C-alpha cells in the first residue's frame, strides 16, 4: 500500500532522479555540457564574436572603397567661401544637385541648415543614404564622407559651389537661380543646383 505520510517521498524522488540521469546519459551523452557552452568558454566566445565583427567590417570597407585611399573622380577644386558670421539669418533648405563629368552623371539631394555660426550640409543619395556631411563654423570646416567609389565629388567642392550659388558676397555677380548651373571647367566638372524648399528657423 502506498505511503501517504510523506516519509518515503525523498527516497523515491532520489531514486527516480538517479534513473533519469542514467537514462539521459545513455541517450545523449555529454549533451548538458554542450548546451551550457555552445560556443566554448566565455573568453573563447568573446574572441569569436570579435573576429566575426572584424571580418564584417573589412568586407564592408572593401565593398565600399574598392581600393584604400582611391582618388575621387573629380579633383579638389579650391575656391573662397564666406565666413558663416557673414551669412545672415537662420534657415533650412533642400537642393536637388546633379554633378556632371566625363562618363559621370551623379544626382543627389543636399540638405542645408544654418543656425547661429554653424552651417551644416548633408548629402543624400536618391535612396536616402547619407553620402557626406560638412560642418562650417566661421571659415573652419569638418568633413565626414563615404569613399571615392561611392562619392565621386569632394564634399568641400559642393560647399564652395553652394556658397557661389547661395551665399555670394554683396559685390559678387548674382548667379542664375533655380536652377543654377556652374561650369567648373578648370576642375573637369559641372554642377547644377535646383531649390526644392527653403524656410526660416526660429
The structure's pTM equals: 0.66
Same domain, 150 and 186: yes
pLDDT in the model for residue 202: 85
What are the φ/ψ torsions at residue 85 (nearest 5 degrees)? -70, -20
Length of the chain: 202
Same domain, 36 and 110: no
> Beta strand 91-101 with 130-137: parallel, antiparallel or unpaired?
unpaired
70 contacts 148 by C-beta, under 8 angstroms: yes
| 76 within domain boundaries | no
Same domain, 160 and 95: yes
Domain hosting 23: range is 9-65
Burial class (CB in 10 A: 0-12, 13-18, 19+), 31: exposed
Alpha-carbon distance of 200 to 115, in angstroms, equals: 10
Same domain, 57 and 90: no
Same domain, 102 and 189: yes
Same domain, 52 and 107: no
pLDDT in the model for residue 168: 82
199 contacts 94 by C-beta, under 8 angstroms: no
pLDDT in the model for residue 89: 93
Could you tell me the CA-to-CA distances from 7 to 10, 11, 12, 20, 177 in Å, in that order?
7, 8, 10, 22, 97
pLDDT in the model for residue 69: 67
Same domain, 42 and 101: no
Per-residue pLDDT of the chain (202 residues), as tens digits, is 444 444 454 444 444 444 444 444 444 444 444 434 444 454 555 554 454 444 434 444 444 444 556 899 999 999 999 999 999 999 999 999 999 999 999 999 999 999 999 999 999 999 999 999 999 999 999 999 999 999 999 999 999 999 998 998 766 665 556 789 999 999 999 999 999 899 999 8
Same domain, 58 and 126: no
What is the CA angle 105-141-188, rounded to 5?
Answer: 30
Alpha-carbon distance of 149 to 63, in angstroms, equals: 9
State how many domains the chain has: 2
pLDDT in the model for residue 88: 92
Amino acid at each position: 500500500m502506498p505511503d501517504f505520510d510523506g516519509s518515503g517521498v525523498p527516497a523515491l524522488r532520489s531514486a527516480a532522479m538517479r534513473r533519469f540521469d542514467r537514462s539521459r546519459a545513455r541517450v545523449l551523452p555529454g549533451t548538458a555540457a554542450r548546451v551550457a557552452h555552445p560556443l566554448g568558454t566565455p573568453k573563447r566566445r568573446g574572441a569569436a564574436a570579435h573576429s566575426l565583427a572584424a571580418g564584417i567590417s573589412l568586407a564592408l570597407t572593401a565593398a565600399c572603397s574598392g581600393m584604400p585611399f582611391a582618388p575621387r573622380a573629380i579633383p579638389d577644386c579650391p575656391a573662397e567661401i564666406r565666413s558663416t558670421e557673414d551669412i545672415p539669418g537662420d534657415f533650412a533648405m533642400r537642393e536637388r544637385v546633379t554633378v556632371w563629368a566625363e562618363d559621370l552623371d551623379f544626382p543627389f539631394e543636399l540638405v542645408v541648415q544654418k543656425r547661429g555660426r554653424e552651417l551644416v550640409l548633408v548629402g543624400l543619395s536618391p535612396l536616402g543614404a547619407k553620402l557626406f556631411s560638412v560642418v562650417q563654423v566661421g571659415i573652419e570646416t569638418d568633413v565626414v564622407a563615404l569613399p571615392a567609389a561611392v562619392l565621386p565629388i569632394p564634399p568641400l567642392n559642393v560647399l564652395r559651389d553652394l556658397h557661389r550659388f547661395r551665399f555670394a558676397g554683396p559685390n559678387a555677380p548674382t548667379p542664375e537661380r533655380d536652377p543654377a548651373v556652374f561650369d567648373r571647367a578648370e576642375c573637369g566638372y559641372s554642377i547644377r543646383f535646383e531649390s526644392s524648399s527653403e524656410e526660416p528657423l526660429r
